[in-house]
Amino acid sequence: MITKFVMPEVIFGSGSISQVGECSLRLGAKKVLIVCDPGIIHEECLEIILMSCKEAGMDYVIFDDLTVNPKDFEVEKGKALYLEHGCDSVIGLGGGSAIDVAKAIALLSTNKGTIHDYEGIDRIHAPLPPQIMIPTTAGSGSEVSQFSIIIDSKRKKKMTIVSKSLIPDIAIIDPQTLSSKSPQLTAATGLDVLTHAIEAYVSVAATPLTDVQATNAIKLVGQYLRPSVASRSNKEAKTKMAMASLQAGLAFSNAILGAVHAMSHAVGGRFPFQHGDVNAILLPHVMEFNLLACPDKFATIAEMLGEDRFGKSTIQLALSGIENVRRLSKDIGAPKSLKDMGLHSDHIKEMSITALEDACMITNPREISIVDVERLFHQAL
Amino acid sequence: MITKFVMPEVIFGSGSISQVGECSLRLGAKKVLIVCDPGIIHEECLEIILMSCKEAGMDYVIFDDLTVNPKDFEVEKGKALYLEHGCDSVIGLGGGSAIDVAKAIALLSTNKGTIHDYEGIDRIHAPLPPQIMIPTTAGSGSEVSQFSIIIDSKRKKKMTIVSKSLIPDIAIIDPQTLSSKSPQLTAATGLDVLTHAIEAYVSVAATPLTDVQATNAIKLVGQYLRPSVASRSNKEAKTKMAMASLQAGLAFSNAILGAVHAMSHAVGGRFPFQHGDVNAILLPHVMEFNLLACPDKFATIAEMLGEDRFGKSTIQLALSGIENVRRLSKDIGAPKSLKDMGLHSDHIKEMSITALEDACMITNPREISIVDVERLFHQAL
């Protein structure tokens, strides 16, 4: 089998965001569109970034007119601003939503049509302008991935856009930006990291290069997600979770994902739920379903999460890993069921069809039918 | 601490070399200089590569006028050929020597002066033309690294050139190319992989991203170097050693190396010895010297090599790892001492001065003086 592994240049560490101006210059940028979460406008990290851009002599325009689970029309607005101001590069700053929008704007700045034309795998042809991504959650992994997820507002469907062109030039990961986040957001985004790592590790497209990243990310989440939720000021936990998010991102960008993400995209297209929360609810159910495909890998996941192999069969060990994931979700206060979030069984049929068509379903390790997807949704209800 | 991690796009797998033409096109190349080991001219892999270039409509010129431990004047010859034929890109095909020369030619094709002007760290300013590297040994790791090592023929000194610009655009790693190599070359290059991984792991510039690559490379060498030396047709062993070489390359490109390489470069600048053999002789002596700096890391190295932690103190475990390295070298028939290779104590004083000035010495985990280097050379004699 021939496999590929691609990643951006990564700059990691406390204080690293102050290098953004210098990085933009190095990429040949002169006027940058900064795409950010609306909530970030009053945060210190934006101030540091603007200062760094000014010091490097960079012009900038800020775009923050976007929502969680971002929409096609938000991308269009950002693109119009980019063109109106004659920008030549983008910086994405925020959670996965801001970064996905930044990528989509970069895409449309040099490629014709609307964002809908690029749904699916490898549809981008013209090269994109310089892109620097700065995550403020640990998190989406979008800062290193070849994915952008944008909602088609008419079809109420999350479009999965996959292309090497969406891998940014530089990802700047500064654990200091994580300390302003609430325990609830830290929990939801941390469980998203765990889902990325587990789905990438059991993916049919996994390779030794993605496996080392995925297993280390699982280990870090097992050790540091609880303390990170417990305290905003635990610097060690924030740094380790930032690394976990990065490594999970590198793993899933190259190994792709599985049924949890396919189903979660189907939910997120219709309902404004936190992506990480939906993943956390679906994850143990899909793990139980997928166990048949690769018991050894699920046993390794259990060990990475701190379970002891001694005295257990492979299956027993693998099952203890699934229980470990359930306990972690419960400990950090993640929602227990889709019903808790407001979902009803009426939606399941339609969402199951959408999930089965999602690009992430292709790499799920166990063959899956519409009946399986419906049953999994019912279990998670 | 702020750290960086950079790597090329990697294509890995049996048969992957037939993608080289398509990859060159994708990078915008039209006429490529193929820099290769002279021995490779009659091998099948060159035939496949030429066919792939032809099919993609690429023009090419072949340059193979180079030697092991390549020299400045060989780079000049290659550069002249590149310019004479109006090439716009390079492919490096072979062991570390061919790849290092390919990088140096790419460097001089767009940057003024001679290769000597670029010795040291970050001296390259103009962007380089597209570069694709295809290693045929497991190996130098140069296909993914920011290093090129070229001998200054007047000073009889290996120049270490370090720059992100030297990271190729694409590395194509095809384990099938390894099966034509002799057991002796497989042993020497495999011990070079082990040295890269160990030095990168204990380097003061190591990060979690380099550690996962380095530790996995050490594990793979421990499991697969013996079987790879034992049989040319053991495909699993060849594939695993190709992965080990790649991962060690990713680790040392970003974490840099240490005293073994600094000393080995000093030897290789004066004597035409196999780089991997010299490293293998120096490695256990330098490990014993460096043990003081990071016993925990040396204990982990031992575990990766298959030593059992049970009933051992950290230091006992670490020492068993050093013995493990000695036994591995012996088992696969590597030379035991520098004297065996033809070196005399007369050379030690001068080589120690050169070694101390090498860029690789900066990241050695234990502070090291001229007296220490001389003593280590005497021990390895």
The nearest CA of chain A is from the CA of B292 a distance in Å of: 26
Residue A243, chain B, CB below 8 Å: the answer is yes
pTM recorded for the entire structure: 0.94
Per-residue pLDDT of B179-193, as tens digits, reads: 889 999 999 999 999
User: What's the confidence (pLDDT) of residue A41?
Assistant: 86
Asked if B21 and B53 touch (Cβ cutoff 8 Å), the reply is yes
B123: pLDDT strictly greater than 90 = yes
- pLDDT band for A39, please (50, 70, 90 cuts): confident
Q: What is the Rg, in whole angstroms, of the alpha carbon atoms belonging to chain A?
A: 20
Res. A182 pLDDT band, cuts 50 70 90? very high
* A99-104 mean pLDDT: 98
Alpha-carbon gap, residue A8 to A103, rounded angstroms: 14
Q: Extract long-range pairs of B297-304: CB within 8 Å, 24+ residues apart.
A: B297/B201, B297/B202, B298/B202, B298/B322, B300/B201, B300/B215, B301/B198, B301/B201, B301/B202, B301/B215, B301/B218, B304/B215, B304/B218, B304/B219, B304/B222
pLDDT value at A27 more than 90:
yes
At residue B39, the pLDDT reads: 87
% of residues, chain A, pLDDT over 90: 96
- The residues facing B71 across adjacent strands are B151
Whether residue A7 lies within 8 A of chain B, CB to CB, comes out as yes
Tokens at A30, concatenated = 């002169």
Which residues in chain B (83-102) have CB-CB distances under 8 A to chain A? Answer: none
Cβ of B13 within 8 Å of Cβ of A7? The answer is: no
Q: Is B370 helix (H, G, I), strand (E, B) or coil?
A: helix
Mean pLDDT of A304-314: 96
DSSP secondary structure letter of residue B204: T
Res. A372 pLDDT band, cuts 50 70 90: very high
- For the cut 90, the answer to whether the pLDDT of residue A42 exceeds it is no
Question: Chain A residues with CB inside 8 Å of B19's CB?
Answer: 2
Chain A, chain B: beta-carbon pairs less than 8 Å apart: 71
Q: Residue B35 corresponds to which amino acid? A: V
Amino acid at B284: P
CATH topology of domain B9-177: Rossmann fold (3.40.50)
Chain A residue numbers touching B7 (CB-CB < 8 A): 5, 7
Give residue-wise pLDDT tens across range A234-263. 999 999 999 999 999 999 999 999 999 999
**B364 contacts B259 by C-beta, under 8 angstroms:** yes
pLDDT value at residue B170 = 98
- Rounded Cα–Cα distance for residues A304 and A299 (Å): 9
Residues B259-268 have a mean pLDDT of: 97
pLDDT at residue B41, rounded to an integer: 86
Distance CA B59, CA B11 (A): 22
Of B5, B9, B15, the CB nearest to A4: B9
**pLDDT of residue B63 exceeding 90:** yes
User: Cα–Cα distance between B90 and B99 in angstroms, integer?
Assistant: 10
CB contact under 8 A, B212 and A207: no
Across residues B19-48, what is the average pLDDT? 94
A3/B19 touch (CB, cutoff 8 Å), yes or no = no
Please name the amino acid found at residue B222.
G
- Residue B42's pLDDT band, with cuts at 50, 70 and 90, is confident
CATH class of A181-380: mainly alpha
B4 with A9: Cβ contact below 8 A: yes
Asked if A10 reaches chain B (Cβ–Cβ under 8 Å), the answer is: yes
Residue A122 structure tokens: 């490898």
pLDDT in tens, A78-97: 999 999 999 999 999 999 99
Q: Mean pLDDT over residues A299-307, rounded?
A: 98
- Contacts with B1 from chain A: Cβ below 8 Å: 13-14
Amino acid letter, B187: A
Judge whether A31 and A61 are in contact, CB under 8 Å. Answer: yes
CB contact under 8 Å between B12 and A207, yes or no, is yes
What is the rounded CA–CA span in Å between residue B29 and residue B86? 11
Whole-number percent of chain B with pLDDT over 70: 100
Write out pLDDT tens, residues A11-25: 999 999 999 999 999
Touching check for A6 and chain B: CB below 8 Å? yes
**Taking residues B329-358, what's their average pLDDT?**
94
Residue B86 has pLDDT above 90, yes or no: yes
- B contacts of A4 (beta carbons < 8 Å): 9-12
* Parallel, antiparallel or unpaired: strands A157-162 and A147-152: antiparallel
Strand partners, A173: A12
For residue A363, pLDDT over 90 is answered with yes
Q: In angstroms, what separates the C-alpha of A128 from chain B's closest C-alpha?
A: 14
Q: Which residue of B has its CA nearest to A250?
A: B209
- Predicted confidence at residue B71, as pLDDT, reads 97
Gap between the Cα atoms of B235 and B138, Å rounded: 13
Residue-range domain boundaries for chain B: 9-177, 181-380
Compute how many other C-beta atoms are within 10 angstroms of the C-beta atom of residue B120. 12
Q: Which pLDDT value is given to residue A273?
A: 93
The CA distance from B243 to B229, in Å, is 16
> How much is the average pLDDT of A200-229?
97
What distance in Å separates the CA atoms of residue B67 and residue B285, rounded to the nearest whole number? Answer: 29
A252, A196 in Cβ contact below 8 A?
Answer: yes
